[in-house]
Amino acid sequence: MPPPPLVSTAGKVIDPRHDDSPVELRDWSSGHGKGFYSQYVLVHHPSDASLGVPVLAGPDVTGEEVKKAAETVRHLLVDAAVSNETLTSLSRWGVRILIAGDDEESWQKHPEVGRHFTTGLGGGSPLFPSTGIQSNALQVSLAEELFHTIQYCSWRPQHICMYHKAYKAAMEEAKLYTTDGSGPEVDGEPVPTVQADEYMAMAMQRWFGSRLEEDKEYFIHGNSGSRTGRENLQQGDPKAFCILSTLFRADDTWNPDPEESPWQSHPNKGLSLDAVNEFCKPVLTDLAAGCPSDAVLWPTNRPRRIP
C-alpha cells in the first residue's frame, strides 16, 4: 500500500474520507486506502510537518483509542527520543501505524492484508512499512512493535552489530535471556523477527518498567518497590541498557499504561543524563569494537520519501 500523504492535523483525529479533509488525503483514502480508513492523525517532526508517522484506523476502533496510540507514538519518537533522527528515517520509509479492532479477523479488513497472520501485523520494515497493533493491546505492546520497526527501518549497521553482540553475551555468558518461543511459528507476522531482535525488545520492556516474561524469557526484573526496571537493566544488563540510552532519554518518566501493574503502584523514575552518559561511554565503546562505523549506512536501491 503506498503511504498516505503526511498532513498535519494539529493532534486531532480526522476522517480522511470527509469532504473537509485535504484533497490529497481524501484521494489517497478513496484510492489506495479503499475507503476503509475513517481515522487519521499525524505524529510529525517538531519543526517540520512534512516529516511524520501517520496513525490510521477504520470504524472498528474508537477515536479515543486512536488518540491514545498517537500519544504513545509521539512520546516515543519526539518527547523521549534522544534525537529526531529516528522519526525522520521512519518518515522517509513511509512508516505508518495501523490500529485494528479486537476480533481475530479485524486485520483482514485492512486493504493491504489479504490473509490471516497468526499474531497480527506487528513491526514493519522498508518492504512492509506498516506497524500494526490491535486496539485492545496495552500501550507497552505498541511501544514494542514500534521498536521492532525502528530496528529494521532506522538503526544503522553499527546498532544491529552492537545488539547482536549484547544478545550473544546475554545468552551465552550471563544467561539472562532464553527465547520467546516463536521458533516453530509460521506466518506469525508479515515481518518476522530473530531472537536478537526479541532480546532487545524485551530489554526495552524493562527500560519502560514492564514485568513481561520476567523469570521466563528475560531474567531482568521490571518496576518494583525497590527499583525501577531501568535501574535493574542498568545493573543487570548494562550492554542492553546503554544501547537503549542512545535511543531514549534516560531521564524520561513516562508510564506506558499508568492504570496497569506495575506502573499503578510503582511508576517510572528518570535517571541522570550525565551519570548515564558517563556510565555508558566505555560500554558503548567496547560494543562498537569490530562493528561498522556509525557513518556506514545500509545499501539500498529503494528510494526513500524525500521531504
Q: Are residues 116 and 55 in the same domain?
A: yes
Q: Are residues 133 and 229 in the same domain?
A: no
Cβ contacts of 85 within 8 Å, gap of 6 or more? 154
Whether 6 is in a domain gets the answer no
Whether 9 is in a domain gets the answer no
Whether 3 is in a domain gets the answer no
Q: Are residues 189 and 141 in the same domain?
A: no
CATH number at residue 41: 3.40.30
Q: Are residues 81 and 180 in the same domain?
A: no
Whether 16 is in a domain gets the answer no
Residue-level pLDDT at 182: 85
**CA–CA gap between residue 80 and residue 59 (Å, rounded):** 30
Q: Are residues 147 and 162 in the same domain?
A: no
Q: Are residues 34 and 120 in the same domain?
A: yes
* Average pLDDT score over the chain: 95
Q: Which of 97, 130, 153 is the last residue of a domain?
A: 153
Range of the domain at 40: 23-153
Phi/psi class of residue 244: alpha, beta or left (left: φ > 0; alpha: ψ in -120 to 50)?
A: alpha
Whether 36 is in a domain gets the answer yes
Instruction: Evaluate whether 131 touches 123 at the Cβ level (below 8 Å).
Output: yes
Q: Are residues 134 and 186 in the same domain?
A: no
221 confidence band (pLDDT: 50, 70, 90): very high
Q: Which of 122, 153, 184 is the last residue of a domain?
A: 153
pLDDT at 260 over 80: yes
Q: Are residues 194 and 149 in the same domain?
A: no
223 confidence band (pLDDT: 50, 70, 90): very high
Whether 13 is in a domain gets the answer no
pLDDT at 306 over 50: no
186 confidence band (pLDDT: 50, 70, 90): confident
Instruction: Give me the amino acid identity at 89.
Output: S
Whether 250 is in a domain gets the answer yes
Whether 177 is in a domain gets the answer yes
Q: Are residues 122 and 168 in the same domain?
A: no
pLDDT at 185 over 90: no
Residue-level pLDDT at 307: 42
Domain total in the chain = 2
Is the model more confident about 270 or about 182?
270
Q: Are residues 34 and 148 in the same domain?
A: yes
187 confidence band (pLDDT: 50, 70, 90): confident
Q: What is the pTM of this model?
A: 0.95
Is the model more confident about 26 or about 49?
26
Q: Are residues 186 and 247 in the same domain?
A: yes
Residue-level pLDDT at 302: 57
pLDDT at 119 over 60: yes
Q: Are residues 173 and 128 in the same domain?
A: no
Q: Which of 100, 131, 153 is the last residue of a domain?
A: 153
